[in-house]
Chain A
Amino acid sequence: MSKYKYRILVCSGASCYSLGSNSFKKVIEDELAKYGIRDQVAVINVGCLGLCGKGPLMLVEPDGKIYTNVSEANLPEIVEKHFVRGTPDERNIITRDDPFYRKQFYIVLKDFDKVDPASLEQYIATGGYSALAKVLTEMSREDVIEEVKKSGLRGRGGAGFPTGIKWETVAKQSSELKFVVCNGDEGDPGAFMDRSVMESMPHRLIEGMTIAAYAVGATQGFIYVRAEYPLAIERLNKAIKEARRAGLLGVDIMDTDFSFDIHIRVGAGAFVCGEETALIASIEGRRGMPKQRPPFPAEKGLWGYPTLINNVETFANIYAIIENGGDWFSSIGTERSKGTKIFALAGKINNTGLVEVPMGITIREMIYEIGGGIQGGKKFKAVQTGGPSGGCIPEKYIDLPIDYDSLKQVGSIMGSGGFIVMDENTCMVDVAKFFMEFCAEESCGKCIPCRVGTVTLRNILQKITEGRATMTDYRNLKDLAFAVREMSLCGLGQTAPNPVLSSITYFEEEYLAHINEKRCIAGVCEIKSFDTINSYV
Chain B
Amino acid sequence: MSVLTLTINGIECTGREGQTILDVIRENNIPIPALCNLKGLTPVGACRLCLVEVRGISKLVPACTTKIQEGMFIETDTEKLRTYRRILVELLFAEGNHVCASCVVNGNCDLQQLGFMVEMDHVRFDYLWQSFQIDASHPRFVADQSKCVKCTRCIRVCDEVEGAHVWDLKGRGIATRIVSGLNQPWGQVKECTQCGKCVQVCPVGALFDKTATPSEMVKDRSFLQRILEGREAKLWAR
**Residues of chain A at the chain B interface (Cβ within 8 Å):** 270, 287, 291-292, 440-449, 451-456, 459-460, 472, 476, 479-480, 483, 486-489
> A interface, by DSSP: helix, strand, loop or mixed?
helix
* B46 and A489 contact, CB distance less than 8 A: yes
Give the nearest-CB partner of A440 in chain B.
Answer: B173
Q: Which residue from A292, A454, A476, A487 sits with its C-beta under 8 Å from B173?
A: A454
Q: How far does the Cβ of A355 sit from chain B's closest Cβ, in whole Å?
A: 33
Q: Which residue from A443, A453, A486 sits with its C-beta under 8 Å from B172?
A: A443
A483 to B118, CA, bound (A): 15
Chain B residues within an 8 Å CB radius of A480: 87, 125
Q: How large is the interface on B (under 10, 10 to 19, 20 to 34, 35 or more residues)?
A: 20 to 34
* A448 and B91 contact, CB distance less than 8 A: yes
Q: From residue 22 to 78 of chain B, which have CB atoms closer than 8 A to chain A?
A: 44-49, 51, 59-60, 62, 65
Q: Which residue from A454, A460, A483 sits with its C-beta under 8 Å from B84?
A: A483
A128 to B149, CA, bound (A): 53
* A445 and B176 contact, CB distance less than 8 A: yes
Chain B residues within an 8 Å CB radius of A445: 150, 169, 171-176
> Is B190 at the interface (CB under 8 A from chain A)?
no
* B174 and A447 contact, CB distance less than 8 A: no
Chain B residues within an 8 Å CB radius of A448: 46-49, 88, 91-92, 95, 149-150
**Residues of chain B at the chain A interface (Cβ within 8 Å):** 44-49, 51, 59-60, 62, 65, 83-84, 87-88, 91-92, 94-95, 124-126, 128, 149-150, 168-169, 171-176
* B88 and A483 contact, CB distance less than 8 A: yes
* A442 and B46 contact, CB distance less than 8 A: no
* B150 and A487 contact, CB distance less than 8 A: no
* B174 and A451 contact, CB distance less than 8 A: yes
Give the nearest-CB partner of A271 in chain B.
Answer: B172
> B interface, by DSSP: helix, strand, loop or mixed?
loop
A453 to B95, CA, bound (A): 9
* B95 and A452 contact, CB distance less than 8 A: yes
With A445-B173, A489-B45 already in contact, the answer to whether A292 and B128 are too (CB < 8 A) is no
A476 to B122, CA, bound (A): 13
22 A-B interface contacts by CB (under 8 A): A287-B169, A292-B65, A441-B172, A443-B174, A444-B172, A445-B173, A447-B46, A447-B47, A448-B48, A449-B48, A449-B88, A451-B174, A452-B91, A452-B128, A456-B94, A456-B126, A459-B126, A479-B87, A480-B125, A483-B83, A483-B87, A489-B48
* B172 and A442 contact, CB distance less than 8 A: yes
Q: How far does the Cβ of B139 sit from chain A's closest Cβ, in whole Å?
A: 29
Give the nearest-CB partner of B47 in chain A.
Answer: A448
Q: Which residue from B45, B62, B95, B168 sits with its C-beta under 8 Å from A451?
A: B95
Give the nearest-CB partner of A443 in chain B.
Answer: B173
Give the nearest-CB partner of A288 in chain B.
Answer: B172
A480 to B168, CA, bound (A): 29
Q: Which residue from A270, A447, A451, A486 sits with its C-beta under 8 Å from B60?
A: A486
Pick the most buried of A443, A447, A480: most chain B CB atoms within 10 A of its CB. Answer: A447
Chain A residues within an 8 Å CB radius of B174: 440, 443, 445, 451-452, 455
* A487 and B51 contact, CB distance less than 8 A: yes
Q: Which residue from B51, B84, B88, B173 sits with its C-beta under 8 Å from A455?
A: B173
Give the nearest-CB partner of B64 in chain A.
Answer: A292
With A292-B62, A292-B65 already in contact, the answer to whether A488 and B169 are too (CB < 8 A) is no
Chain B residues within an 8 Å CB radius of A447: 45-48
Chain A residues within an 8 Å CB radius of B128: 452, 455-456, 459
Q: Which residue from B59, B125, B169 sits with its C-beta under 8 Å from A486?
A: B59
* A456 and B125 contact, CB distance less than 8 A: yes
Give the nearest-CB partner of B171 in chain A.
Answer: A445
* A476 and B84 contact, CB distance less than 8 A: no
Chain A residues within an 8 Å CB radius of B92: 448, 452
A211 to B120, CA, bound (A): 56
Chain A residues within an 8 Å CB radius of B48: 447-449, 487-489
A472 to B123, CA, bound (A): 13
Given contacts A444-B172, A451-B176, A486-B84, 7 further A-B contacts (CB under 8 A): A442-B173, A445-B169, A448-B49, A449-B88, A456-B128, A472-B124, A489-B45
A489 to B95, CA, bound (A): 18
